[in-house]
Amino acid sequence: MQHLLKMSDVTELEIYNILKSAKELQSTTIPFNTQGFIANLFFEPSTRTKLSFEVAEKKLGYETIDFTLESSSVQKGESLYDTVRTIESLGASAVVIRHPEDNYFEALKTNIQIPIINGGDGKGEHPTQCLLDLYTIYEEFGTFTGLKVVIAGDIRHSRVARSNALTLQRLGANVAFSGPSEWQDNNLQFPYVSMGEAVSTCDVLMLLRIQNERHDAELGGSDYLTQYGLTVEREKKMKEKSIIMHPAPVNRGVEIADELVECSRSRIFQQMKNGVFIRMAVIHMLLHKGGVSNETTTKKRSLI
């Protein structure tokens, strides 16, 4: 694996190997022996993903190059390719990119030799968020096979929904969506269920933020919570062992009632913790060409 761009490019075995590496890195840091630099290019606002990558990089012994859009040559018309090529020429070991264009990496992956890690592309994918969500689910249940996962909310504008739904299905989970009809994505062939059915049947309820920046008009509020969100009354109907997830940032009182964000079945802040270890594992794999290449050398179903 040279880059991490889309979850469909990552084999099932590589997924399990990343999860295994993340588990190991929770207790054992693997610093590199030589100085290295990783550039974080975020063309969209980010708190969790950007800071999580920075912490992961520093835990692995890397210096971080913090790219600032406002003071860069992008303001003078420099292309993304030339920006990344410049960073590569300056000696960076890898680059993490979040960009508002879908599939921005298609213009980069042929000629850029250092690893490119997709930190989110438009409404496309968010592979490291998917991996940390997988890790959170696997820690909880020890399997994906047969789990009922409902992804609820702004499906059409969510890169998280796309990455997670397709990958969870590939790993054996039963995936369904829930949310307003105007936010459905007809390109994703998954059944839609009501929020009432979702809470009573799911093992994992994955709520999504309403992405107002991708809408023509701002939507949401208490009406959304009542119709499509997780209210206190709905949470009481969830199965005993089911969990709540959210990629954050959370619109409290919109997708989820404020008092449920940190309730006993919520794994929202655990997801954030897991993000550091997953991103450490991804960086380690890409820069060390690590990972198991022969399936016979590992038992992928018992990695964690």
CATH of the domain at 256: 3.40.50.1370
| Same domain for 132 and 236 | yes
Backbone φ and ψ of 117, nearest 5°: -110, 120
| Same domain for 184 and 85 | no
CA distances from 288 to 94, 253, 283 (A): 12, 44, 8
| Same domain for 214 and 177 | yes
Comparing CA positions, the residue from 168, 193, 198, 166 lying closest to residue 181 is 193
126 is in an annotated binding site: yes
| Same domain for 41 and 142 | no
Look at residue 302 and tell me if it is in a domain. Answer: no
Look at residue 300 and tell me if it is in a domain. Answer: no
23 is in an annotated binding site: no
| Same domain for 173 and 88 | no
215 is in an annotated binding site: no
Query: Any alpha helices (H) in the chain, and if so which ranges?
Result: 12-25, 48-59, 80-89, 127-141, 159-170, 195-201, 222-228, 232-235, 268-288
98 is in an annotated binding site: yes
The arrangement of strands across the sheet holding 204-207 comes to 174-178, 148-152, 204-207, 243-245
What average pLDDT score do residues 122-127 get?
91
pLDDT of 216 reads 52
Find the domain containing 160 and state its range.
127-270
What average pLDDT score do residues 80-105 get?
94
123 is in an annotated binding site: no
| Same domain for 209 and 98 | no
Peptide bond into 115 cis (omega under 30): no
248 is in an annotated binding site: yes
What total number of domains does the chain contain? 2
Residue-wise pLDDT tens digits, 15-24 = 999 999 999 9
Is residue 38 within 8 Å of 65, Cβ to Cβ? yes
The CA-based dihedral angle spanning residues 34, 132, 247, 188, taken in that order and rounded to the nearest 10 degrees: 120
| Same domain for 66 and 166 | no
pTM above 0.85, yes or no: yes
Look at residue 202 and tell me if it is in a domain. Answer: yes
48 is in an annotated binding site: yes
148 is in an annotated binding site: no
Q: Report DSSP state, residue 279.
A: H
Look at residue 301 and tell me if it is in a domain. Answer: no
Tracing tokens 């997830």 back to the chain, one arrives at 245
| Same domain for 178 and 223 | yes
Task: Quickly state the pLDDT bin for 290 (edges 50, 70, 90).
Answer: very low
| Same domain for 41 and 71 | yes
* Signed CA dihedral, 219, 266, 132, 64: sign only: positive
pLDDT of 291 reads 39
Tracing tokens 């990558």 back to the chain, one arrives at 53
Q: Output the average pLDDT for the chain.
A: 88
| Same domain for 212 and 88 | no
| Same domain for 149 and 227 | yes
Q: Which pair of structure tokens corresponds to residue 157?
A: 């504008």
